[in-house]
Amino acid sequence: MKEINLRAEDLQHKVIPIHMDANFFFERAVRSLDRYHYDKALKYFRKAVEYEPENPVNHCNMAGILSEMGDYEGSNAVLTNILEHVEPSMTECYFYMANNYANMDNFEEAERAIVTYLEQDTEGQFLEEAEEIIDLLEYELDRPAKLVRIKSREGMIEHDQARALMEEGKFAQAVEMLESIVQQSPDFLAARNNLALAYYYMGLFHRAKETIGQVLELEQGNLHGLCNLAIFYQHEGNTKALEHLLDTLSITVPFHQEHVFKLATTMGILGRHEEAYGHFRRLLKDEEVNEDPSLYHYTAVAAFNSARYMEAKRWWNYLLKMDPQSAIPKFYLAQLEQVLVHHKKYPKLSYQYHLPFEEQLKRWEQDEEGMSEEIKHNPLIRSSFFWALRYGDTGTKLQVIRALSWIADDEVKETLSAFLQEPDQEALLKEAAKQVLIEMGVAVPGDCIDAAAEVSVTSEQRPAVMRLPEWKGTWQGVVDQTLQHMDLSMERERKNNVQNLWTAFLGKLYPDTPLIRQPEGWSAALDYLTTKMHGGAVTYQEVAQRYGVSASTVSRYARRIHSVCSLKE
C-alpha cells in the first residue's frame, strides 16, 4: 500500500476550524436535553456561562437543569446569583425559586419568593402558574398568602370594582374610579372603554364620545371601542356613519370569546339579529363558555328576532333542560307557541336574561309614566306580568299586583277578580289585589271591604309620626312645593292638612316608603286630595297643568295616597 504523506500547508486547508463560543455550547446543551442527557447539558450550559458570564439567560438555563436533576439548592444558588450580580430586574427568577422551595417542602420560603415575584413582575408571564402555587401554599400553610398587590394586574382589581359599580347603577362612583385608573395607566384601554360607557349612562354624551376617540387613537382596531362607537352613532342619529361602521363590523370575525360576545350583543342592540345569531352560535361551540344558561337564551332571542322560530324553540328547550327550575325558558316557549300556533305578533325581544316584567319594574323607579304606557301597549310585557302573577314567588306577585294598578284597564279587572277566586293564593296577596280593585272602583264582596277597613284601622292605632325615625329632605320638598303652588289666602287648616296627610301616608308605609323620583307628581296629588277634602271643585287636569305633570300621574299618586290613608273613613 502506498503511504500518503501530507504536508503541513495541505493540512491547513483540510481542517475545518471550530468556533468555541456561547452559542456553540448552548446548541450542544439543547441537543443533550433532547436526549435527556442532563449531565452533559449541565456541562455545556456551564461552558456557555464561562463564555458569556453577563448573559442571565445562560445562568437561568443552568439553574433549570439543576432543578430538573433535583438539585434545588444548587438551582436557587444560581438564581440568587443572577438577582444579586447579573440582572436584578429578572423577576422571573423569584418564580423559579418558589418552585424549588415548594419541591423542598420549604413552604415559608416558597411563599416569600412567589409573593416577591407577583409584587415586582410587570409582565405577568407566569401569572396563572403563580396563582396555582399560591393556592398550594395556602393549603399547606393553612392560611391566606401574605400578598398585598399584583404588579402585573395593577389597576385590574379597581377596574373590576368600577364595573361592579356600573352594574349597580352607581355611575358617578364608577367614573371617579375609572378616571383615576386611566390617569395612572393611560394604555389601559378596557378602563377607557368602560369610562366612556359610564359617561354615556350619566348623559355626558360628548365626553363619552371623546373618550372612545382616545381609545381608537391608541388602537385603531379596538373592537370594544368600535362597538361602543356604533352604539353612540345610533344614539345621536348619525345613520350614515353608523351604516359605514356596521358594514365593517358585519365582516369582522373576532377570535377571542370576549370579543365575539361583545360583537354579538352589539349587533343585537343595533338590530342586526342575523349577525348576532351567527356570533352567539359560535360561542355555543366553545366548551369554555357553553355551560352558561344565559348564552342559550341570547342565542334563542337572536333566532326569534330574525324569524328563525324553530331554532329559537330549540335553544329555549336546551335552556329548559339545563335550568329546569327557571321560569325564563318556560315563559318564552309559551309566547313562542302563540306565534307558531296563533300567529300572534310580538315586538323584538330584549336580550336581557330575565322576564320582561322584571326589567319594567326596574325602569318604573325612573319613569313611572313612560313605563305604564309601555305596559299598556306592549303585548309581550303585558303577558309577562300576568305570567308572573300566576307563577312568581310571593314578593314578585306583590310587585306585579302593584304594577297592574298602573294599567287599571278591563283586562286587569278580570285578571285580579279571577285571582281572588283562586283558593291556593295567600291571604296577603288577595288583600293586595282587593285593594287595587277597590281603587279601580270594582265592587268586591262585603267581607273583603271589612277586611280592608280592618287593616286601615290597625295601621291607624299608632300615630303616623311615631313610625318615622327620620324626616328626609325629599319628603319635606314635596310639602314645600305643594304649599308654594297653593293660594296664599288658603285657610291654615287646609295647609296643615297637606303636612298631616303626607306624614300619615309615609308613616303607614314606613320603612317601605316610595322613592321620590317625581316630587311634582306627589305634590300635585296632595293638592288635589286636600282640595277635595275641603269641598273644592278641581280636576286632575287642572292640577296637572299647575304642576307640569300629566293628569294620569296625578290620578295614580292620588289613588295611592287615598288607598293607604283610607280618606273615605
Q: What is the pLDDT of residues 281-322, one digit of tens each?
A: 999 888 777 788 889 999 999 999 999 999 999 999 999 998
How far, in Å, CA of 148 to CA of 111, rounded?
A: 13
| Dihedral sign computed on CA atoms, order 533, 534, 535, 537 | negative
Q: Calculate the average pLDDT of the chain.
A: 77
How far, in Å, CA of 61 to CA of 28, rounded?
A: 13
Query: Is residue 8 very low, low, confident or very high in pLDDT (cuts 50, 70, 90)?
Result: low
* Residue 184 or residue 37, greater confidence: 184
Q: What is the pLDDT of residues 220-275, one digit of tens each?
A: 888 999 999 998 888 888 889 999 999 888 888 888 888 899 999 999 988 899 99
How far, in Å, CA of 3 to CA of 114, rounded?
A: 69
pLDDT value at position 159? Answer: 82
* Residue 458 or residue 271, greater confidence: 271
pLDDT value at position 339? Answer: 83
Statement: residue 564 has pLDDT above 60: yes
130-140 average pLDDT score: 85
Query: Is residue 451 very low, low, confident or very high in pLDDT (cuts 50, 70, 90)?
Result: very low
550-560 average pLDDT score: 81
Q: What is the pLDDT of residues 487-519, one digit of tens each?
A: 654 566 667 778 888 888 887 777 677 777 778
pTM, entire model = 0.49
CA nearest 193: which of 206, 209, 180, 177? 209
Q: Is the peptide bond before 511 cis (omega within 30 degrees of 0)?
A: yes
Q: How many beta carbons lie within 10 A of that of residue 182, not counting itself?
A: 20
Domains of the chain listed by start with CATH number: 22-153 (1.25.40.10), 155-252 (1.25.40.10), 356-460 (no CATH), 474-565 (1.10.472.10)
pLDDT value at position 189? Answer: 87
